[in-house]
Amino acid sequence: MERKFAWAGYSENDINKVNEFAERYKAFLGKGKTERECVKEAVTLAKKNGFKDLGALIEKGKALKAGQKLYYTYMDKCVMLFVIGKSPMEKGFNIIGAHIDSPRLDVKQNPLYETDGLAYLDTHYYGGIKNYQWVALPLALHGVVVKKDGKVIELSIGESDSDPVFCISDILPHLGQDQMKKNAADAIEGEQLDVLIGGNPAQGVEKEAVKALALKYLKEKYDFEEEDFLSAELEVVPAGKPRDLGLDRSMILGYGHDDRVCAYAQLEAMFALDETPEKTVACILTDKEEIGSVGATGMRAKYFENAIAEIMHLMGEDGELKLRRALSNGNMLSCDVSAGFDPAFAGAFEKKNAAFLGKGVCFNKFTGSRGKGGSNDANAEFMAKCRAIMDGAGISFQTAELGKVNQGGGGTIAYICALYGMNVIDSGVAVLSMHAPWEIISKADLYESFRAYREFVLKA
C-alpha cells in the first residue's frame, strides 16, 4: 500500500497555496515560543477572523445560536475555539486537539549565581530532550514575571537582532576525552544545563559583581529584581526564527514544530469554516502534554469539559446527562506529530509502517510503547470514516507507527479524551529530529493537515 508524495499531485496554484500557508505558519511559530505566546497569538488571529470571547458571553448570560464563533482561554496557557452548529450538542460534536507546549529548559526559582567571574541561570529541563543537543547554540529567554502586586512583566530576550543571546558551554574536543567515553545520555548532565548570561563585573561591587551587573540590567530594562524569580515562568528556547530548509524550500526548520505545527493547522481549519456546520466544532490547544498532560492546564484537567457545559447552558441544553451524551457522541482528531522516517537512522523504523515527509497528513491508529502500553487504539469503524473523508476530499494521507515495536514509543492526549467514550484517533505531521532544538517538517504535510482538519470537522 504505497502512498504517493503530495507534491506530485500539486498544480502550480496548489504550490503557491502551500507556500503562502507556510509563510503564515512560520510567522506564528516565530512569535509563539511559549504556551502563553501561542495563546496570545491564537487569540489575536481568532479575533481577526470574527471569533468572540466566550468568557464575556458567559458573564452576561448571553444565549448562543448556530454559526457563532467563540474563543475561550484558560490560565493564559490553553485556548479553545468553537463554531456553534445547527444540531443539538447532545447529539455530539467534532473536535480537533493539539498541544502548544514544547521541550525546553525552565529557569529554576532560585536560579541566578556567579562562579569564577561568570554569571549563570540554573535550569530544569522540561519534556523529553537529549541534553547534549542544547549546548553551544544561541538561546533566548522568554516568559513572564509576576510581581507581588500582581503586575505581569513579559520578557523576550534573544530574538531581535539588537538583543544579546545566551548559551550553554561545552568542553572543547582537545580536553574532552573523559566526556567522549560516556554514553550520549550522560555526556551532558541535567545540572550542567546552566545558561551563561554575563561576564562583566559591576564597578565598585566587591562580592558577586558579575551577578550584580546582570541584576542591574534586569532592573533597569524590566523592573525585575532577584526576588521576582520566585514568581516567574521563564523558558530558555533556541534563539532565531524558523527558516525554509533545502534548495527547493520544501521544508521548514524551526523550534517547536512538536506540536505547534498541528496547532496552527487547526487554527487555520477553524478560520476556514465559512459555513455553519451541522455539528458544533471545537478546537483545543492544550498545555503540559510533554510531561504527561498533568496540572490545571493539562488535558487531564476539566477545563474543556467545563467549557462545553457552559456552552450547553447558554444553548438551553442544561443537565449532566446531556453533557455526558455530548462528550461520548464526540468525534476527535488528536492532532500530534509523528516520527518521520529518517534514512540516517533507518534501523529505528519499520519502513512499511513509517511516516514520510511529503506524503501528507499521518494517521496513527495507536501510539503507546511496546505492547501498546499507554495507548489510545482507535477502532476500525472510526478509521474507515476518516479514510472516507480524506479520500472524498482528495487529501494526501498516510498511516504510521512510532518506530519499531520494541524501539521505544510515546503518547498523546488521545487516550485522555477517549475516556469520555468518544471516537479518537491521532493525526498529525511527520517530523525529523523531533524534540531537538531545531526540528524539520514538510510544507506539504502542513498544508494537507490543514485540509484534513477542515474536512474532518465538517463531515465526521
> 272 is written with which cell numbers?
476556514
pLDDT computed for residue 374 by the predictor: 76
The larger pLDDT score, comparing residue 313 to residue 375, is at: 313
Checking if the pLDDT of 72 tops 80, the result is yes
Cell numbers given for 434 = 523531533
- Separation CA 322–CA 306 (nearest Å): 13
Average confidence (pLDDT) over 97-101: 97
State which H helix or E strand residue 211 sits in: helix 209-222
Sign of the torsion angle spanned by Cα atoms 35, 37, 42, 47: positive
Amino acid 367: pLDDT: 81
Residue 182: pLDDT band with limits 50, 70, 90: very high
* Beta strand segments in 33-88, E: 52-53, 69-74, 78-83
Cell readout for 58 is 458567559
- How many Cβ atoms are within 10 Å of 137's Cβ, its own excluded? 16
- Categorize the per-residue pLDDT at 161 as very low, low, confident or very high, splitting at 50, 70 and 90: very high
Q: Bridge-partner residues for 140, per DSSP?
A: 237
Type of residue found at 45: L
CA dist., res. 300 & res. 395, Å (int) = 32
Instruction: Show Cβ contacts of residue 188 under 8 Å, excluding neighbours closer than 6 positions.
Output: 131, 132, 134, 135, 170
Q: Is the pLDDT of residue 403 over 80?
A: no
Pairing mode, if any, of strands 361-364 and 118-126?
A: unpaired
Give the right CATH number for 6-102+255-459 from 3.40.630.10, 3.90.1150.10, 2.40.50.140, 3.40.190.10.
3.40.630.10
Structural element, H or E, at residue 12: helix 12-31
Second-level CATH architecture of 104-238? Roll (2.30)
Question: pLDDT band at residue 97, thresholds of 50, 70 and 90?
Answer: very high
SS3 state at 208: coil
Q: Quick one: pLDDT at residue 378?
A: 85
Q: Over 80: is that where the pLDDT of 146 sits?
A: yes
Please give the sequence-ordered ranges of beta strands (E in DSSP) within 3-103, or none if there are none: 52-53, 69-74, 78-83, 94-99
Question: pLDDT confidence of 362, banded at 50, 70, 90?
Answer: very high
How sure is the predictor about 460, in pLDDT bands with cuts at 50, 70 and 90?
confident
Question: Does residue 370 surpass a pLDDT of 90?
Answer: no
Q: Residue 287 carries which side chain, given as an amino acid letter?
A: D
For residue 63, give the DSSP letter.
P
The model's pLDDT over 434-455, given as tens digits with 9 standing for 90+, comes to 999 999 999 999 999 999 999 9
Segments making up each domain of the chain, as ranges:
6-102+255-459, 104-238
The band of 369, judged by pLDDT with boundaries at 50, 70 and 90, is confident
Give the cell for residue 182: 560516556
- Can the peptide bond before residue 194 be classed as cis, meaning omega within 30 degrees of 0? no
User: What per-residue confidence (pLDDT) applies to 286?
Assistant: 97
Mean predicted confidence (pLDDT) in 59-72: 95
Q: pLDDT at residue 2 above 80? A: no
Compute the mean pLDDT over every residue in the chain, rounded to the nearest whole number: 95
**pLDDT, position 376:** 84
Interval 180-204 mean pLDDT: 94
Average pLDDT of the segment spanning 4-18: 94
pLDDT at 275 over 80: yes
Distance of CA 293 to the CA centre of its chain: 12
User: How much is the pLDDT for 431?
Assistant: 97
pLDDT at 206 over 90: no
Q: What is the pLDDT of residue 152?
A: 95
- pLDDT over 80 (residue 458): yes
Strand runs labelled E in 191-341: 195-198, 232-238, 243-245, 251-254, 281-286, 331-334, 338-339
At residue 365 the predicted structure's pLDDT band, cuts being 50, 70 and 90, is confident
For 235-269, what is each residue's pLDDT tens digit? Answer: 999 999 999 999 999 999 999 999 999 999 999 99
- How is residue 59 written as a grid cell? 458573564
